[in-house]
Amino acid sequence: MAAQYITEIEPTVEDAARLAARGVSVGYGSRTVIDDLDVSIPPGVITTIIGPNGCGKSTLLRTLTRLLKPVSGSVVLDGQDIVKLKTREVAKKLGLLPQTPVAPEGLTVADLVARGRHPHQSWLRQWSSDDAGVVERALAMTGVSDLADRPVDSLSGGQRQRVWISMTLAQGTDLLLLDEPTTYLDLAHAIDVLDLVDDLHESGRTVVMVLHDLNLATRYSDNLIVMKAGAILAQGHPREVITADLLQEAFGLRARVVDDPVGDRPLIVPIGRTHVQLD
């Protein structure tokens, strides 16, 4: 398991309100996707954004990472407007795993993870043994050291996700944003990746991710952001947020919410048209 390799990150003064959106509106062309949205990401926990397709989940994540510029409002990272920060400064503070990352054909795992050190390189500071050490630790953290010489495109889906997470760790940030990290993975590999995310959180990292599977979101999250039509419908711990009424309002989903038999989180049991809801 990867947990034995995780290194602890000491908390800093900056941990309070590390990342927040203030009155943010974002769109594509003439279409507004998010309108006047406010949200703060609590430090040191796993925050998961959920909501129906097209509600603005990935748009919000991309806006928080400066990949999308708000039409109005601002994203604040460590007390500064993220738009005013240099790209290298942002990359040193937060790591992003996009929804469908693609590596150049034939690139090895070690070479891909080493790219996470690019924000720390300059004309004055070239590759060093320190960088090599960071890459080795990142590979170990995610349990992929034995894959270092393999081409990325030869790996399974679960292995590739671990390698991409390893690259974000090599950036040396303690703020990780993951856009649907379990996409295209079967359930066993999805659990494997989310167990790794949980290990990283336990070591002191703040994680923000987008997930579609509601039960995985409730099981692995300390803080849920529920979105609908570009707005935040609810936010808080899964035990406080997930109710049958909220699922109906957000997703149009009829469901029972019961206690998870293997955890302290709610478990969502969908009710289809052919099922009888028992009292």
Share of the chain above pLDDT 90, in %: 42
Q: Residue 75: pLDDT above 90?
A: yes
Provide the residue ranges of all domains of the chain, joining segments of one domain with +. Answer: 2-242
pLDDT value at residue 222 = 93
Under CATH, which architecture does the 2-242 domain have?
3-Layer(aba) Sandwich (3.40)
Whether the full predicted model's pTM is greater than 0.75, yes or no, is yes
Amino acid 258: pLDDT: 95
Whether 190 has a pLDDT exceeding 90, the answer reads no
Predicted local confidence at residue 213, as pLDDT: 94
Residue at token pair 């998010």: 34
Say which amino acid occupies 72: S
Q: pLDDT for 34-50, tens place per residue? A: 999 999 999 989 999 99
pLDDT score of 146 more than 80: yes
Cα–Cα distance for residue pair 152/174, rounded to 1 Å: 24
Specify whether the CB–CB gap between 155 and 163 falls below 8 A. Answer: yes
pLDDT band, very low/low/confident/very high, at 13 (cuts 50, 70, 90): very low
Q: Could you read off the pLDDT of 93-109 as tens digits, one per residue?
A: 888 888 777 777 889 99
Question: Per the structure block, which two tokens stand in for 155?
Answer: 């790996």
Calculate what percentage of the chain has a pLDDT beyond 70: 87
List of residues 6+ apart from 212 with CB closer than 8 A: 50, 180, 183
In one letter, which amino acid is 32? T
Q: Does the pLDDT at position 177 exceed 90? A: yes
Q: What share of the chain is helix, strand, coil (3-state, %, to 5)?
A: 40, 25, 35
Q: What is the pLDDT of residue 207?
A: 93
